[in-house]
């Protein structure tokens, strides 16, 4: 059958109030899927459920036809990027990026090399020793992206990652991220309320209407 | 006017610290330090006392932190039943008079009179402090850091160690530092539950000055104590500078229901802490009501109107009245000076940090040093102030003022200065703008701090022990006097007085707490 991410008949609630019902989503290998919806519609909750940091009220999540619904977040290998970069303030850029590599078998040299690769990919080689508070919003978001990609996630979850940036910067970053993900072949689920941004980043568009998800 | 007002506000607390702490301290050192004092520095017993004092303080600090951390997590991150009540209970010990806590543990512990008893009492005292200081930061740590860490492959423990712990460490360091200072200069507890043959520096200073009239030795020890305090504060400042990170606090910290083994273990630990806090208080109540082989209120009646006036010159009623009078005056002084200082710190353009340091200084000087210094100054100063009643509340106010500043200052600092600018553009003068914007919040914080200052004054023993006149003891002084006499009646009355003091303290703190704004923002009262 299909592989990649499959969300089947999921229900999302918040404080026992249903936000989304009958959710069926597929993100095939290498595809970027955007999910459009107004704030408060439950799209961020859905993303958190997929990442494994929140539980579905009911339904199932599959990766390559294996049920991962009960798998804790740290074993799913799904990356997550928030609207604010949330860089660890006590670490410099390089240590932020290598954070996820601490929990892998990689040797110090391999980690070093991976950090260098990612710094180059996001174009921030000269920022490796900077502290997060010395970065602009766009730079911080690039570091957050590099940090999420470092442990080679099977899927990238993007929770309005460009929402806090001004328009010019956002346009440039959207283009860069699309290039990057296509280049790496990493599938992604991108949640946003901006139809324009969704169209330019994603291969497929879904939207939330009346607590249901439909393709746009 | 705009420049002048903060300077005028700052002047009064600065003068107070100079007159009531700095000059007496210098007097103490100049009076005491004579060639013969050098004996103290070269004596092996001095260094044994120092090592003992530091060791018990370190052990007390480490244990307090270890015991407090799970409870801080449970109380500030989880949705627990009766959370407010649990939080209130863990805060009680911190505002209790030291000699009262000492007595409670003397009655409770089979191993009273040992170092272990001192440590247990110190942990009892300080666990709530650590819970509140660390918890108020923990409760506001952005939970999404943990989410980020777990999406990057960290399990819960790894996410904590690498993601949350580094962000918590400044708060843990700050709390540890406070606990170390309190336990290093602890007096009432050590005097009542400690081993008389193993004094700490603070007790040794007291004994030399009061019992052996060896002021040279007391002054020399005061210097050693000051050096340790200054070194400890310097280390703390250094660590804090290195560790302080910005941008970790969210406004919307959500507490969730317990989930998983860790949460339930932390919850269980919290309840154990709460029970462990209630038991000593219970033992005190039982000691106050145990009359020979039965139960009764005899000791309360005896304490309030003694039938045998020959052995006890002062009744409890008189001691309570004395304490109340001192507490009112000390609170007014401490709150006035503390609030002036806090306002000045927020309004000053330059020298904010220096003023902050000056008004915090008394916190680093032990209460015994303040009391002894004031006593010596009152004898040898330009005017003979011996026996002047105001000395007692002045000494107590110096102990309480830093606490007032630490509560009011964060509240004032949390106010966005642009709000005052908005008020100004709407036509408010600087003074009117301050009253409208800062006033209401400052008033609440002032009320909370007044309650604590009053509790501190009521329970204060270190400075008061030197300054109170023999014929007008405060309640804690009277308790220690009763304890120094043999017999069941004296013990029973000491316990009865302790219970009365606890009740009065609890009522005052309870009233002050009502002024606390009911928001989730702990900055509004500086973590208290």
The pLDDT of B424-447, averaged and rounded, is 80
Q: Is residue B249 over pLDDT 80? A: no
Please tell me what DSSP assigns to residue A85.
Answer: -
Residue B382: band (very low, low, confident or very high) from pLDDT cuts 50, 70, 90: confident
Specify the CATH class of B4-28+42-286+297-514 in words. mainly alpha
| Interchain pair B153, A77: CB under 8 A | yes
Of B393, B515, B365, nearest in space to B456 by CA: B393
- Nearest Cα of chain A lies from the Cα of B157 at a distance, in angstroms, of 11
Note the pLDDT of residue A154.
92
Q: Count CB atoms within 10 A of the CB of residue A204.
A: 16
Task: Calculate the average pLDDT of chain B.
Answer: 83
Name the more confident of B115 and B241.
Answer: B115
Higher pLDDT: A124 or B167? It is A124
- Give mean pLDDT, residues B495-513: 86
- Smallest Cβ distance to A73: which of B150, B162, B167? B150
Taking residue B222's Cβ as centre, other Cβ atoms within 10 Å add up to: 26
Closest CA–CA distance from residue B174 to any residue of chain A (Å)? 17
Q: What is the mean pLDDT of the segment spanning B319-342?
A: 93
Predicted confidence at residue A7, as pLDDT, reads 93
* Residue B237's pLDDT band (cuts 50, 70, 90): confident
In whole angstroms, what is the distance from residue B456 CA to residue B441 CA? 23
Query: Is some CB atom of chain B closer than 8 A to the CB atom of A152?
Result: no
Give pLDDT tens digits for A33-70. 999 988 888 888 899 899 888 889 999 999 999 999 98
More confident residue, B513 or B278: B278
The reported pLDDT for the residue numbered B441 is: 79
Q: Which of B35-44's residues contact partners 24+ apart within 8 Å by CB, and which partners?
A: B36/B216, B37/B216, B37/B217, B37/B219, B37/B220, B38/B220, B39/B217, B40/B216, B40/B217, B40/B220, B40/B221, B41/B220, B41/B224
pLDDT of B525 strictly over 50? no
Mean pLDDT value across residues B318-323? 88
Q: What value does the mean pLDDT take over residues B302-322?
A: 70
Contacts of B219 by beta carbon, 8 Å cutoff, 6+ apart: B28, B29, B31, B32, B33, B37
Q: Do B167 and A90 touch (CB under 8 A)?
A: yes
Q: What is the largest CA-CA distance in chain A?
A: 51
Question: CA nearest B105: which of B94, B116, B92, B91?
Answer: B116
Residue B52's pLDDT is what? Answer: 94
What would the pLDDT profile of B469-485 be if each residue is shown by its tens digit?
Answer: 878 889 898 888 888 88
Q: Which residues pair with B290 in a beta bridge?
A: B295
CA–CA gap between residue B25 and residue B340 (Å, rounded): 24
User: Residue A8: beta bridge partners?
Assistant: A60
* pLDDT band of B314, cuts 50, 70, 90: low
Q: Which residues contact A6 (CB under 8 A, 6 or more apart)?
A: A25, A26, A61, A62, A63, A65
Q: How much is the average pLDDT of B224-251?
A: 68
pLDDT tens string B391-431? 899 999 998 998 898 888 888 887 777 777 777 777 777 77
Burial of B523 (0-12, 13-18, 19+ CB in 10 A): middle
Q: What gap in Å lies between CA B517 and CA B521, rounded to an integer? A: 9
Measured CA to CA in angstroms, residue A79 lies from A207, B140, B147, B148, B149 at distances of 22, 24, 10, 8, 10
Domain ranges of chain B: 4-28+42-286+297-514
Sequence-distant (≥ 6) Cβ neighbours of residue B353 within 8 angstroms: none
| Phi (first) and psi of residue B14, to 5 degrees | -65, -45
Q: What is the pLDDT of residue B247?
A: 45
Question: Which of A78, A90, A104 has the CB atom closest to B245's CB atom?
Answer: A90
Q: Cα distance from A80 to chain B (closest Cα, Å)?
A: 6
Residue B240 — pLDDT band, cuts 50, 70, 90? low
Q: Which of A75, A88, A151 sits opposite B145 (nearest CB)?
A: A88
Chain A interface includes B152 (CB < 8 A) = yes
Query: Which ipTM score applies to this complex?
Result: 0.79
Ramachandran angles phi, psi of A35, nearest 5°: -115, 115
> In terms of Cα–Cα distance, which of B450, B456, B459, B457 is closest to B513?
B450
How far is A130 from chain B, CA to nearest CA, in Å?
A: 14
Q: What is the mean pLDDT of residues B279-290?
A: 87
Which residue ranges in chain A fall short of pLDDT 70?
Answer: 1-2
Distance CA B435, CA A31 (A): 59
């Amino acid at each position: 059958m299909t592989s990649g991410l499959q969300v089947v008949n999921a229900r999302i609630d918040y404080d026992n109030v249903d936000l989304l019902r009958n959710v069926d989503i597929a993100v095939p290998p290498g595809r970027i899927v955007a999910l459009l919806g107004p704030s408060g519609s439950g799209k961020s909750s859905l993303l958190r459920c997929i990442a494994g940091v929140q539980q579905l009220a009911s339904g199932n999540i599959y990766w390559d036809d294996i049920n991962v619904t009960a798998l804790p977040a740290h074993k799913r290998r799904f990356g997550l990027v928030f609207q604010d970069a949330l860089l660890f303030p006590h670490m410099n850029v390089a240590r932020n990026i290598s954070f996820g590599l601490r929990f892998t078998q990689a040797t110090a040299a391999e980690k070093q090399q991976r950090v260098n690769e990612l710094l180059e990919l996001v174009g921030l080689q000269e920022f490796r020793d900077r502290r997060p508070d010395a970065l602009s919003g766009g730079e911080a978001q690039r570091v957050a992206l590099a940090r999420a990609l470092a442990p080679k996630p099977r899927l990238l979850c993007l929770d309005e990652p460009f929402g806090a940036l001004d328009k010019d910067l956002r346009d440039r970053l959207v283009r860069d991220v699309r290039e990057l993900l296509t280049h790496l072949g990493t599938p992604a689920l991108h949640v946003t309320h901006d139809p324009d941004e969704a169209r330019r980043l994603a291969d497929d568009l879904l939207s939330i209407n009346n607590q249901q998800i439909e393709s746009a | 006017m705009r420049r002048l007002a903060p300077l005028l506000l700052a002047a009064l607390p600065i003068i107070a610290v100079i007159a009531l702490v700095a000059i007496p301290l210098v007097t103490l050192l100049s009076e005491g330090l004579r060639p013969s004092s050098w004996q103290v520095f070269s004596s092996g017993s001095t260094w044994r006392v120092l090592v003992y004092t530091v060791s018990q303080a370190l052990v007390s600090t480490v244990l307090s932190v270890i015991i407090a951390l799970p409870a801080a997590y449970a109380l500030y991150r989880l949705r627990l039943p009766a959370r407010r009540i649990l939080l209130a209970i863990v805060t009680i010990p911190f505002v209790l008079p030291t000699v009262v806590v000492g007595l409670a543990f003397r009655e409770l512990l089979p191993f009273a009179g040992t170092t272990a008893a001192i440590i247990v009492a110190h942990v009892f005292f300080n666990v709530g402090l650590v819970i509140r200081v660390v918890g108020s930061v923990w409760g506001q740590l952005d939970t999404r850091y943990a989410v980020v860490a777990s999406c990057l492959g960290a399990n819960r423990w790894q996410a904590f160690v690498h993601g949350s712990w580094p962000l918590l460490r400044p708060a843990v360091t700050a709390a540890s530092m406070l606990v170390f200072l309190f336990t290093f200069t602890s007096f009432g507890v050590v005097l009542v539950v400690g081993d008389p043959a193993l004094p700490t520096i603070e007790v040794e200073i007291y004994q030399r000055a009061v019992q052996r009239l060896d002021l040279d030795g007391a002054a020399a020890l005061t210097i050693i104590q000051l050096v340790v305090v200054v070194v400890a504060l310097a280390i703390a400042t250094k660590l804090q500078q290195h560790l302080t990170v910005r941008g970790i606090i969210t406004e919307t910290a959500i507490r969730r229901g317990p989930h998983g083994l860790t949460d339930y273990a932390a919850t269980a630990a919290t309840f154990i802490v709460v029970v462990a806090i209630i038991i000593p208080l219970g033992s005190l109540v039982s000691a106050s009501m145990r009359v020979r082989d039965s139960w009764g209120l005899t000791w309360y009646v005896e304490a309030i109107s003694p039938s045998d006036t020959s052995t006890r010159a002062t009744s409890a009623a008189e001691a309570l009245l004395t304490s109340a009078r001192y507490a009112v005056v000390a609170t007014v002084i401490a709150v006035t000076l503390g609030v002036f200082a806090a306002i000045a710190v927020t309004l000053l353009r330059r020298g904010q940090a220096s003023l902050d340091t000056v008004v915090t200084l008394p916190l680093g000087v032990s209460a015994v040093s303040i009391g002894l210094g004031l006593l010596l100054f009152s004898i040898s100063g330009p005017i003979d102030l011996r026996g002047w009643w105001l000395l007692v509340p002045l000494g107590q106010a110096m102990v309480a003022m830093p606490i007032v500043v630490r509560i009011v200052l964060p509240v004032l600092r949390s106010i966005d200065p642009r709000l005052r600018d908005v008020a100004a553009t709407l036509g408010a003068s600087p003074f009117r703008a301050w009253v409208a914007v800062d006033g209401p919040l400052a008033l609440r914080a002032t009320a909370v701090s007044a309650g604590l200052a009053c509790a501190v004054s009521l329970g204060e023993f270190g400075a008061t022990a030197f300054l109170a006149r023999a014929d007008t003891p405060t309640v804690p002084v009277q308790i220690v006097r009763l304890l120094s006499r043999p017999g069941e009646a004296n013990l029973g009355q000491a316990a009865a007085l302790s219970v009365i003091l606890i009740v009065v303290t609890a009522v005052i703190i309870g009233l002050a707490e009502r002024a606390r704004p009911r928001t989730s923002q702990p900055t509004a009262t500086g973590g208290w």
